[in-house]
Amino acid sequence: MPSMTFIERNGAPRQVEAPLGLSVLEIAHRHGIDLEGACEGSLACATCHVVVDPAWAGKLAKPTEDEEDMLDLAFGLEKTSRLGCQLVITDALDGLVVRLPKTG
């Protein structure tokens, strides 16, 4: 089973199983990770904002224009910020590392 690591808001890493085809948001919810996702993954908010580890950022598909528009609303935006609902686990993303941004 593929896995991924969330760096929680307190800086603690948490490695979890990451089934293929699930989004980072769905995986977070499955494992009780504090990632909101108010729009339930419909790309209508930025509450599932995560910061992708720079080592992984280049392995991801570029964000769509709609995702970039929603990211503009995110607090604490960084160069490798993405929406968790738009990152779907594939074999190539086994081991993905994302950090939950500090809340304002």
**pLDDT digits 0-9 by tens, 72-97:** 999 899 999 999 999 999 999 999 99
- Number of helices (H) and strands (E) in the chain: give both, helices first: 3, 5
B/e letters for 42-67, b = 16+ CB within 10 Å, e = fewer, are eeebbbbbbbbeeebeeebeebeeeb
Spell out the domains of the chain, with CATH numbers in brackets: 3-99 (3.10.20.30)
Per-residue pLDDT band at 54 (split at 50, 70, 90)? very high
pLDDT of residue 14: 98
Q: Enter the pTM of the model.
A: 0.95
Q: Give the tokens for residue 96.
A: 């993905």
What are the backbone angles phi and psi of residue 73, rounded to the nearest 5°?
-90, -5
Is the model's pLDDT at 104 over the cut of 60? no
The H or E element that residue 69 is part of is: helix 65-71
Q: How high does pLDDT run on average in the chain?
A: 95
Q: Give the tokens for residue 70.
A: 């929603």
